[in-house]
Amino acid sequence: MNIKSEILKLKKEKDVLILAHNYQLPDVQDIADYVGDSLGLSRQAAKTAQKTILFCGVHFMAETAAITCPDKTVLIPDLGAGCSLADTINAEELRKWKSEHPKAITVGYVNTSAEVKAELDYCCTSSNAVNVVKSIPEDKEILFLPDMFLGSYVAKMTNRNNMFIWAGECHVHAGIRSQDVQEKLREHANAEFLVHPECSCTSSVMYDVASGDYGSRQVQILSTEGMMNHAKNSQSKEFVVATETGILYKMQKQNPDKKFIPMSENAICRYMKMITLEKVYASLQENKYQVKVPKNIADKAHLAIERMLAIS
């Protein structure tokens, strides 16, 4: 059996939209109707006419689709595909934090559970986090969660001194350390450097850029989709990329004449890699596993997600 052909056949027969995150395995990306970042995937889910969405990503992404598309069936091939960053805060912890800052606006990264989203004023992704915070009056305190590296980056980019940041991190991006950056860049003297704002090296990279330590080297701090667009439009032929290694497949596919080097070969999300072609096939065949969000939670979370989708 050619499993890819069978998946494409089943997908057509059952009229299923398959979405895959940029960090998914190459084979999984190949059978998807759309491959993108969290914001792009959320927008695709929200506007599709198809009644079933199969989400090749992690659990919070499928939950977000279920919230924005309450009339659709949302499937995920493996219920165990979680997120180390989302696990760093729960709804009870957030409610306690909010009680300590009763007048603050809460801004949460999309990498959170539905229960946490139900407690938020705004949701955001790495591609629009800065603009979401800029849309909030400057005199308002902000609670930003759960990623401390993205939060620190946003605070610097918006010059906010009234942002409180939750001390959470993604196990993959936290492992991309500033002490490894210079060594890798020395090996690739002509490469542009693309950095995801969730990386633990982001603050030091910003400081080094401001100090002129990179000289004439191009350094860009971008979301995964921002990296894709920049690589397509750049005249450079070589890039060192600081994020999860799954993104390199699509980058190379879109730019066969360019070279992409991972900042860290070990930047691999074990949760993203839990989704395989065999699990996608089983999910399509048996309509498993359906992701549902209780109506009371979905209704509360919907406003924060809608605000995220409205801000580019």
User: Which residues does the annotation place in the binding site?
Assistant: 21, 38, 83, 109-111, 126, 170, 196-198, 224, 269
Tokens 């989400």: give the residue: 55
Nearest alpha-carbon partner for 224 in 207, 202, 240, 244: 244
Q: What is d(CA 118, CA 95) in angstroms, rounded to the nearest whole number?
A: 11
Tokens 């979405």: give the residue: 19
Q: What is d(CA 166, CA 49) in angstroms, rounded to the nearest whole number?
A: 37
Q: Which two tokens stand for residue 113?
A: 């559970």
Q: Which residues are annotated binding-site positions for [4Fe-4S] cluster?
A: 83, 170, 269
Nearest alpha-carbon partner for 111 in 160, 61, 66: 61
Q: Are 128 and 107 in contact (CB under 8 A)?
A: no
Q: Which two tokens stand for residue 288?
A: 């498993």
User: What number of other Cβ atoms are within 10 A of residue 96's Cβ?
Assistant: 9
Q: Which two tokens stand for residue 116?
A: 């946490």
Q: Which residues are annotated binding-site positions for iminosuccinate?
A: 21, 38, 109-111, 126, 196-198, 224
Q: Are 208 and 231 in contact (CB under 8 A)?
A: no
Q: Are 60 and 38 in contact (CB under 8 A)?
A: no
